[in-house]
Structure 1
Amino acid sequence: MTLLPTIRQLSGWGCAYRSLQSIWSWFILNGFTDKPVPNHSEIQRCLVEIGDKEEKFVGSRQWIGSTEIGFVLDHLLGIESRFIVTNSGAEVAERARELALHFQTVGTPVMIVMAPGYAVFIVKVQQHSASAIDPNSELGGGQLAHTILGVDFDENTGECGFLVLDPHYTGSEDLKVVLSKGWCGWKPPSFWNPEYFYNMVLPQPPKNTL
């Protein structure tokens, strides 16, 4: 499975699309679906079909955020998501214990989205309520996304680290390059900018399949 053609097309934008594709790949590799990873146009088309975006959104370079990722997973895979909202990057580390439990019990990659401002609400995926989303809110697009693959949390000291996959990588499929250049690796709590808030999307596979 390769996403390089799509990744190169999205170079310079669309990190949330690539994070979604990484999450989708996890569901394929773990036997939850045999549906192929959608490209960015298919992701956009899905959001138009559910009424979240207008027709002109398809083929655009408009960014998407945490709520859109939840909508797509729910509509195309039937996967609901849980959301975590922090008021600053400094609070991400405070959620390390919660994230560690997620990886122990659920295991799905977590998309984390950075945006300026203050988080005031979360839109529930199952509602599909486009009218509840302010198009100018920071829960929409234009945000910087990463994918968290794991958390190292010390119960005694509270120290933590985050295994982060950076969707901004557009090079070759050379694992040595990806790892040596830090495109996938462990990041300290200071990696998360304290001047921004972060939304996290935690996909929840059906309980009867876990």
Structure 2
Amino acid sequence: MSTSKLLTNIHEGIENVKQSGRNHLVSGNYAYYHYLCDGFDDRGWGCGYRTLQTLCSWMNYNFKDNAEVPSIPRIQEILVELEDKPKSFMNSQQWIGSFEVCLVIDKLYDIPCKIVHVNKGEELQTIVDTLVAHFERFGSPIMMGGDVDCSSKGIMGIQINHNDASLLVVDPHYVGREQSKEFLQNKGWVKWQPLKDFLSSSFYNLCLPQVKSKHKV
């Protein structure tokens, strides 16, 4: 699937939550995949697939030249081939989460992913150092999913300001014609989200690809 028609690096130019904060951001380019972006109607269930596609686009730009981002049917096929899902999973509207994203990235790129589990949102503060270290060492985007807050999202950075932290969220639930980075930022499809604004009652799983981009030395 070509990424040439999709917006890239939609976080660029977004204002900081606090001007005094320290930012640790994704390194290299990625394409923004979202509901219906390729004409495939995945509204209501495809957010995990779209976030995976965004991560795959980063791999292709920064790690594996000329590879294609897998379509949603191809992602389902891979998970069936790996025997993670039954054959009935094909052409279904079943969601995928961080574990499935890890499996597909490992299959397509031979890259391991670290899974970080947080029992509830109010404990996200405990993994701040892990996320900072990830962006500093690898610079790859992160996939985040949960149970109550079950929608998947991309994490493109973390900002630290004293005892507060915010995650740079890229939301794949956007439906419509892509206008511009500024449009998506103004509408909240990419935003800085303070950790305190994540649901305290939801657990969260994060998939952290362990590969350095070409921009990391």
TM range (shorter): 0.7 to 0.9
1:78-110 superposed Cα distances (whole Å, 9 cap, x missing partner):
111001110101111321222011111111111
> Conserved in 2, the CA contact under 8 Å of 1:79 and 1:206?
no
Select 2:191's aligned residue among 178, 181, 185.
185
> Conserved in 2, the CA contact under 8 Å of 1:64 and 1:143?
no
Could you tell me how far apart the structure 2 residues matched to 1:207 and 1:25 are? 12
Partner of 2:58: 26
- More helix per residue: 1 or 2? 1
Aligned length: 183
1:23-67 superposed Cα distances (whole Å, 9 cap, x missing partner):
111112213342111110000000011111111211111111111
Partner of 2:79: 47
Could you tell me how far apart the structure 1 residues matched to 2:207 and 2:87 are? 25
Could you tell me how far apart the structure 1 residues matched to 2:129 and 2:85 are? 35
Select 2:45's aligned residue among 7, 10, 13.
13
Partner of 1:74: 106
- Aligned-pair distance for 1:143? 3.4
> Conserved in 2, the CA contact under 8 Å of 1:7 and 1:18?
no
Quick check: 38-47 or 174-183, which moved more? 174-183
Task: Specify the SS of the correspondent of 1:6.
Answer: coil
Partner of 2:154: 147
Partner of 1:172: 177
Listed as ranges, the gaps of 5+ residues in structure 1 are 117-141
Task: Pick closer, same or farther for the CA change 1:98–1:48 going to 2, 3 Å.
Answer: same
Point out 4+ residue stretches in structure 1 off by more than 2 angstroms: 2-8, 31-34, 206-210
Read off the aligned partner of 1:204 and give its amino acid letter: Q
Could you tell me how far apart the structure 2 residues matched to 1:169 and 1:102 are? 27
Identity of aligned residues (%): 34
Quick check: 178-187 or 94-103, which moved more? 94-103
Quick check: 24-33 or 60-69, which moved more? 24-33
RMSD: 2.2
Could you tell me how far apart the structure 2 residues matched to 1:6 and 1:197 are? 31
- TM-score under structure 1 normalisation? 0.80
Task: Specify the SS of the correspondent of 1:195.
Answer: coil
> Conserved in 1, the CA contact under 8 Å of 2:138 and 2:212?
no
Listed as ranges, the gaps of 5+ residues in structure 2 are 7-32
Could you tell me how far apart the structure 2 residues matched to 1:179 and 1:87 are? 29
Read off the aligned partner of 2:66 and give its amino acid letter: D
Could you tell me how far apart the structure 2 residues matched to 1:171 and 1:63 are? 21
Task: Pick closer, same or farther for the CA change 1:107–1:150 going to 2, 3 Å.
Answer: same
Select 2:142's aligned residue among 98, 110, 115.
110
- Aligned-pair distance for 1:71? 0.6
Could you tell me how far apart the structure 2 residues matched to 1:185 and 1:111 are? 15
